[in-house]
Structures are given as C-alpha cells and as structure tokens.
Chain A
C-alpha cells in the first residue's frame, strides 16, 4: 500500500480530501451570506466579493510576504463591498437582487483589472497543518493537510448558531429579518443593522476568497472562481438559514466539486466537465426537491425578497 497504488480507493479519499479543501470557500461565503440573509437582505454580489477577496489577498501577501495580512486585506475588501451593497440598497426603491448582480460584475471586473500584474508572481501561501503524519500513504497525507482557515470555519458555524440563538446581536439581526417594523418599534435602525450584517457577510466571503488564491488552488488567475460564490448563496437557501446546516452542506458541496478532479486522477476523463458541474447540478436538484410553490420555506426570514 505504501507505494501509493491505492487503485479505486483514490476516488473516495480524494473526495474526502476535497470535501475539506474545496469546501472552505463555500463554508465562509455561506456563513457570511447566512448572516446577511438573516437580517432580511440578500447579497448576490458575493461572487464578486469572493474574486476581489482572492485578488487582494494574493496581492497583499505578495507585497508584504505575510499571507495572514492577505487574509485580513481580503476580509476588509469584502466588508467594503458589503458596505457598498448595503449603502445602495438602503436607498428607496432599489432592488437588492439587482444590486447584487451589479456588484457581481463590478467585483469580478475590478479584480481582473487590479489583478493583471499578479498573474505572474508567486505570493506566500497559507500554511497547512499536517494531520496525516501517522500515515505512510501519500494520498492520505495529502488529504489530511488541513488549512487553519478550514478549522476557523468549522468553529465559526456552531459559534454563529449560538450567537443567533442567544446573543443580543443575534436577536437583533433576526428581528430585522423577520419584521423590520418590530425592530423599528424597539428603537433600532433596520438599515444600520443590515449594513453591519452585510459588511460582516462580505468580510467572511472575502476571507473565503483568500483561501482560493492563498491555499487551494493557491494562485491568482481569472478563472479562479467559477460560480462558487453564487452556489454558496443558493446553499444558504438549501441550509434553511441555519449555520450548522451550512457547514454540512458546504462539506457535501466540496466533496461534489472534488469528484471531477478525483475521477480524472484515476483515468476517468470522459465526463470531466460534467463532473465539474456537479455542485451546480446538485444545488439545482436540491432546490427543486426542497422548494415548494405552496408555502414559504421553513426558517426563511420573512423580510427576504426572494421568499416574499
């Protein structure tokens, strides 16, 4: 076994490793979007935020030599894009879904523009913790090289669950999402709550983007994100706005996304592109199964424009 010839076992192992590696951006974007949507607003622009985050993280990491500064920069960039979204949406009669589409185009365009000089150089990458030291099999070791961001994401999900349930801020966000009138009656500004929720959502999505450029795949190019951001937004709907379900769903999606490359590594190349589309097909299939025209989804924030 030690010679690395695992045969077909490579596939489940790669899917498992992929579930850990590929799921991290899904996890961060979906947790961020979960906060934003719980406050009653949907930010479809997170695809753009993800790409901007990836670009700024790579740039700052390259310039400063510190990948963690890059992660921070990605988060701040994301928060700024979130503030832009929230700012425009707080104007009267502005549709948040349309603004999201606009920021998706704007974010990707800006990232490609500013990121042109970053395609060539190599930036310092995020370190990984080797959890596979006990094994002799290289594939197992590869699968268990886990990035710290993934662990932070895993810790964040129960933390958010707890925060939504018990803390004052969690309650405020949920109130703004369920009934803006109630929040207003309590003397809080709904727009301010949503601004902060969207900024936090953007911050997390930016960090998700930094994972793409600084760990896996670990470089900056214009094809880095192909719809992970939008898939994560759909994933929040499927996870019924529950941070813990977001975690499990992200893992499942990461596994699905790793299926194509895993099969290719054992020589199954025929359906490569179709397997690569597995996360999108899975999202669509899950939405078809779980949605219903008769009732609004359980757990959906009442103020959310897509469920109204």
Chain B
C-alpha cells in the first residue's frame, strides 16, 4: 500500500530550498523519466540475453520488435489498436492507486463491462445505432464500475484486502461470462466457440477515418485526459491524493473517505468496462471467451510503469501495445513462442519495481545540496 511513497522522499532529496537551478526545478521530472527508461532498457537487455540463450540473435530480436511495433504504418495501426484497451485498463489500476489501493482486477471489469454492453445492445434491436452505442457505453461503465466498486466497498466496509478480492473477482467474472455465453445468452449458431449473438454490423463503432484504428483509442485518450484533470486539477482529485498520502490527515480535515473510495473505484472499473465495450463494439462484435486476452493484466504493468500518472499512461500503453503487436512478427521470423511477449512484460515489470529503489539516489540529480 506504499506505492506513492516515493514522492515525499523525493521532495526532500531532490528539491532543497536554496539555489533554484535547473536540476532543482526539473530534477524530479528527469528522474521520473530517466529511472523507468533505464529500467526498460535493462529489461530489454535481459530479454535479449534470455533469447540469446536459445540461440537467437538479440539484434534480430530488437529489429523485429521495432518493425512489428513501429516500423510501418501497418504496425503503428496494430500498436495503437492494442494500446486503446491498455490505456483504459491501466486507469483501472492507476486511479485507485491515488488512494493507496492496489487494484489488479481490471480484467474482470473488462469482461463484465463487455457482457453488460452486449446484453444492452441485444436487448434493444429496434433502436438506432447511436442510441445503442450510447447505451453500450453506459452499460459498460456501470457493469465494470460496479464490479470494482464491490472490491472497494469490501475493503472499506469489511476490511477485505482489495488486491486479493479484485483478483478473485477476475476469476468469478470469467465464470459468469462463460456461464452466460454457454447458457442463457448463447447463439445456437456458434458451435465451436460458444458466443452470444452478434450486436449487428450497424452498431459497430468502426474505425477512425483514414486508419484501421478503431474509435476505442479516442475513448482511451479522452478517459486518460479526463482522469488527469480529475486527479490533478479538481478539488475531488486533491482530496483523493490527500487521502492516499495520509489517511489520518484526510480524516482530520473531514474528507469522506468512504465516498472517495467508492467513486474512484467506480470510475476505475468504468474505464476497464469501456475497454470491454470497445472490444465488443469494435473488434469482436459479440461476447465470448476471446475477450479474456489479458489486456487487464498488461494494464496493471502499464499503470505501474507510468507511476499511476494518467497522462504518462498514454505513451506507456502505446509502448506495451507495440510490444504485444510485435509478438506475431517475432513468432513468424524468429520462431519465438507467443509467450515471449509475456516473458518480456514480466521482466519489464520486475525491473521497473526494482528501480523504485533508485529514486533520490542518483548522484548528479541531488542538486549538489
């Protein structure tokens, strides 16, 4: 629960009052870019070594990773398409982190959001596409939001650890989805892969003009910017950060902690719920077990790598979207298994967390104080 603990130490270590030079002013920012960047480079180097153990050339690896992620317009589009749900699921971890909570149930909220959105779309076949799409967004937000609010409420009212409960809710969510998809909501025509009926081509949200990138990216960007403004430029966000920094101080000044936690959890789950809605309305067209593609788990990594800053989530999500987009090329050209993306993600995660120890310890950033 001490995810944000680096900040106060930072203030002491990096910005002494005297001599307001460049390093004093921007030292913390440089550190926030430099340390995760170094961790990323270290992780890539380690992964290169790992691949070299299997007789592959690491330079080929980096080349194909770049090619598959950002090398061509095609791969850029693939990367951005994958980044969209990652931005949204990362918010599911990053928003509660402002309050010092570690929520890792984005995958569950995504599944429930997708299921709710599909149910609403199937329930109103008469309505015009715009109405259906709006209803789907609302259903996704409410479904995903309530799912994570449950974890938040359990922590606040019953003292249940939110990390464990949110992860358990992922498995429960998947079971609910499978139960409905193979039972009450099953399309009899789907034989091999049990699925719900399709929401209909007219109700799909389609691509951003001129690209193959679906509108989910716009949802992600809007959600990230809105979260940034909410956290850093509103009274609500300020109280959330106060509560996350020092719960006792927040209680003394009379902040309603319960309400804060519930609202933040609802917004967090809502973001992941939109990711589910987008996956249905822009990619799959229906709900089935394909939706459990691990976006929720990669989102946790994105949030930690971005240090839970909603704006930093955007480039980090694009980066990790790129890594997962390059997986196909690595498989075809280098014969690496599809799980290599997972291994790399795991290595990056380990390096980023270990790099937390470096904050405030880099000699030249201490501002000669």
Contact = CB atoms under 8 A, between A and B. Distances in A.
Interface of A: 44, 48, 84, 88, 91-95, 97-99, 101-103, 105-110, 112-113, 116, 226-227, 230-231, 233-234, 237, 270-274, 276-277, 280-281, 283-284, 287-288, 291-294, 305-306, 308
Contacts of B157: 293
Given A94-B357, A110-B346, A274-B175, A288 B167 contact: no
Contacts of B179: 271-274
30 contacts: A48-B346, A94-B354, A97-B1, A98-B3, A99-B353, A101-B102, A101-B349, A105-B300, A106-B343, A108-B342, A109-B343, A109-B344, A109-B346, A112-B338, A113-B340, A230-B164, A234-B168, A270-B183, A272-B182, A274-B176, A277-B176, A284-B165, A284-B172, A287-B160, A288-B160, A292-B158, A293-B157, A306-B1, A306-B161, A308-B1
A106 B357 contact: no
B158 A293 contact: yes
Contact of B2 (A93, A281, A283): A93
B77 interface: no
B80 interface: no
Interface residues of B, number: 54
Q: Which one of B1, B159, B340 has the greatest number of beta carbons of chain A within 10 Å?
A: B159
Nearest to B361: A92
Given A102-B353, A116-B339, A306 B301 contact: no
B159 A292 contact: yes
Given A273-B179, A276-B175, A284 B169 contact: yes
Q: Which one of A98, A277, A291 has the greatest number of beta carbons of chain B within 10 Å?
A: A98
A230 B349 contact: no
A234 B164 contact: yes
Nearest to B338: A112
A83 B347 CA distance: 15
Which 7 pairs of residues, A with B, have the shortest CB-CB distance? A106-B346, A109-B342, A277-B175, A112-B339, A102-B349, A91-B357, A293-B159
A93 B156 CA distance: 25
B76 interface: no
B81 interface: no
A281 B297 CA distance: 21
A89 to B, nearest CB: 9
A91 B343 contact: no
A24 B307 CA distance: 38
B1 A305 contact: yes
B353 A110 contact: no
B5 interface: yes
Given A107-B346, A234-B168, A88 B160 contact: no
B356 interface: yes
Nearest to A87: B354
Nearest to A281: B172
Contacts, number: 160
A106 B350 contact: yes
Contacts of B168: 227, 230-231, 234, 280, 283-284
B159 A291 contact: yes
Given A109-B339, A273-B176, 11 more contacts: A48-B346, A98-B102, A103-B346, A106-B343, A109-B342, A230-B168, A231-B168, A284-B172, A288-B158, A305-B2, A306-B163
Q: Which one of A113, A230, A231, A272 has the greatest number of beta carbons of chain B within 10 Å?
A: A113
Contacts of B62: none
A272 B165 CA distance: 22
A51 to B, nearest CB: 11
Contacts of A294: 159
A112 B161 contact: no
Contacts of B1: 95, 97, 305-306, 308
A202 to B, nearest CB: 15
A99 B344 CA distance: 15
B304 interface: yes
A110 B343 contact: yes
Given A230-B167, A277-B175, A95 B2 contact: yes
Contacts of A110: 339, 342-343, 346
B120 interface: no
Contacts of B349: 101-102, 105-106
B329 interface: no
A271 B182 CA distance: 10
B154 A288 contact: yes
